[in-house]
Amino acid sequence: MIFQKELVLSPKKRGFHIITQEVLGVIPKKTGLIHIFIKHTSASLTINENADPSVRFDFENHFNLLVSEKEKHYTHTHEGPDDMTSHIKSSLLGSSVSFPVKGGLPCLGTWQGVYLCEHRNNAKPRKIVVTFMGI
Which pLDDT does position 22 carry in this prediction? 97
What's the full length of the chain, in residues? Answer: 135
What CA–CA distance (Å, rounded) separates 82 from 38? 19
Q: How many CB atoms lie within 10 A of CB 123?
A: 21
pLDDT tens digits, one per residue of 72-94: 999 999 999 999 999 999 999 99
What CA–CA distance (Å, rounded) separates 10 from 103? 28
Q: Which phi-psi region, left, alpha or beta, contains residue 72 (left: φ > 0; alpha: ψ -120 to 50)?
A: alpha
Q: Domain 2-134 is classified in which CATH homologous superfamily?
A: YjbQ-like (2.60.120.460)
Which pLDDT does position 32 carry in this prediction? 98
User: What are the sequence ranges of the domains in the chain?
Assistant: 2-134
Supply the pTM of this predicted model.
0.96
* Beta-carbon contacts of residue 80 (< 8 Å; ≥ 6 apart): 121
